[in-house]
Amino acid sequence: MSKFIHLKKSALAALVATAAVTGLSAAPAQADAGSSMASLARGEVGNGPCAHGGYWTHINSQGSSCNSSGVSHAWCADFVGWVWSHYDVARLGTLTDGAASFYKYGKVNGTLHSTPKVGDAVVYDYNGVDWAAHVALVTGFDGTNVTMVGGNEGHRTHPDGIVQTESTSRWQVGQAPWGQTISGYISPVLNSDSSVTPADAGMTHLAGGDLDGNRTQDVLSTETSTGDLYFYPGSGAVNGSGTLGSRVKIGSGWNSMTNVTVGDYTGDGKADVLATESAAGDLYLYPGSGSVKGMSTLGDRVKIGSGWSGMHDVARIDVNKDGKADAVAVETGTGNLYAYPGTGSLNGMNTLGERVQIGSGWNAMSQIVTPGDLNSDGTDDLVARDESGNLYAYPGTGSLNGMNTLGDRVQIGTGW
Report how many helices (DSSP H) and strands (DSSP E) the chain contains, helices first: 4, 24
5, 411 contact by CB (below 8 A): no
- Confirm whether 167 is domain-assigned: yes
Statement: residue 291 has pLDDT above 90: yes
For residues 46 and 167, membership in a common domain is answered with yes
Count of domains in the chain? 2
Question: Could you please report the per-residue DSSP string of 309-374?
Answer: GGEEEEEEE-TTSSSS-EEEEEETTT--EEEE-B-SS--GGGSB---EEEES-GGGEEEEEEEE-S
pLDDT at position 349 is 97
For residues 154 and 245, membership in a common domain is answered with no
- Confirm whether 3 is domain-assigned: no
Left (φ > 0), alpha (ψ -120 to 50) or beta: where does 387 sit?
Answer: alpha
For residues 130 and 241, membership in a common domain is answered with no
For residue 210, the SS3 value is coil
- Confirm whether 334 is domain-assigned: yes
The C-alpha atoms of residue 14 and residue 196 are separated, in whole angstroms, by 27
For residues 52 and 98, membership in a common domain is answered with yes
**181: containing domain:** 33-186
- Confirm whether 14 is domain-assigned: no
* Positive/negative CA dihedral, 182, 183, 189, 194: positive
The C-alpha atoms of residue 297 and residue 228 are separated, in whole angstroms, by 13
Average the pLDDT over 225-254 and give the result: 91
pLDDT at position 53 is 87
pLDDT digits (tens, 9 = 90+) for 250-274: 999 998 888 899 999 999 999 999 9
Q: Which residue, among 123, 75, 131, 81, has the nearest Cα to 329 in the 3D structure?
A: 131
Statement: residue 23 has pLDDT above 70: no
Q: In this structure, what is the dihedral angle of CA atoms 38, 104, 123, 100, given to the nearest 10 degrees?
A: 120
For residues 407 and 286, membership in a common domain is answered with yes
pLDDT digits (tens, 9 = 90+) for 77-125: 999 999 998 888 888 878 888 999 999 888 888 888 888 999 999 999 9
pLDDT band at residue 11, thresholds of 50, 70 and 90? very low
Statement: residue 160 has pLDDT above 70: yes
For residues 263 and 329, membership in a common domain is answered with yes
pLDDT at position 151 is 96
Choice between 337 and 389, residue whose per-residue pLDDT is larger: 337
For residues 133 and 207, membership in a common domain is answered with no
pLDDT at position 58 is 65
For residues 227 and 255, membership in a common domain is answered with yes
- Confirm whether 301 is domain-assigned: yes
Question: Pairing mode, if any, of strands 162-168 and 70-71?
Answer: unpaired
- Which parts of 97-144 are beta strand (E)? 112-113, 121-124, 134-141
Average the pLDDT over 384-391 and give the result: 82
274, 327 contact by CB (below 8 A): yes
Of 186, 213, 232, which residue constitutes the final position of a domain? 186
For residues 131 and 253, membership in a common domain is answered with no
- Confirm whether 6 is domain-assigned: no
For residues 101 and 210, membership in a common domain is answered with no
Average the pLDDT over 123-133 and give the result: 88
121, 83 contact by CB (below 8 A): no
The mean predicted confidence, pLDDT, of the chain is 86
386, 313 contact by CB (below 8 A): no
pLDDT digits (tens, 9 = 90+) for 168-225: 999 999 999 999 999 999 999 887 764 544 444 478 788 999 999 999 999 999 987 7
For residues 361 and 331, membership in a common domain is answered with yes
Average the pLDDT over 361-379 and give the result: 87
For residues 284 and 395, membership in a common domain is answered with yes
The C-alpha atoms of residue 391 and residue 8 are separated, in whole angstroms, by 10
Statement: residue 1 has pLDDT above 50: no
Q: On the CB side of 361, how many CA atoms lie within 13 Å of its CA?
A: 4
For residue 99, the SS3 value is coil
383, 368 contact by CB (below 8 A): yes
CATH number reported for the structural domain that contains residue 90 in this entry: 3.90.1720
CATH number reported for the structural domain that contains residue 405 in this entry: 2.120.10
The C-alpha atoms of residue 113 and residue 185 are separated, in whole angstroms, by 5
The C-alpha atoms of residue 118 and residue 36 are separated, in whole angstroms, by 9
Q: Which residue, among 61, 55, 136, has the nearest Cα to 94 in the 3D structure?
A: 61
Q: Which residue, among 201, 332, 331, 221, has the nearest Cα to 275 in the 3D structure?
A: 221
- Confirm whether 17 is domain-assigned: no
- Confirm whether 402 is domain-assigned: yes
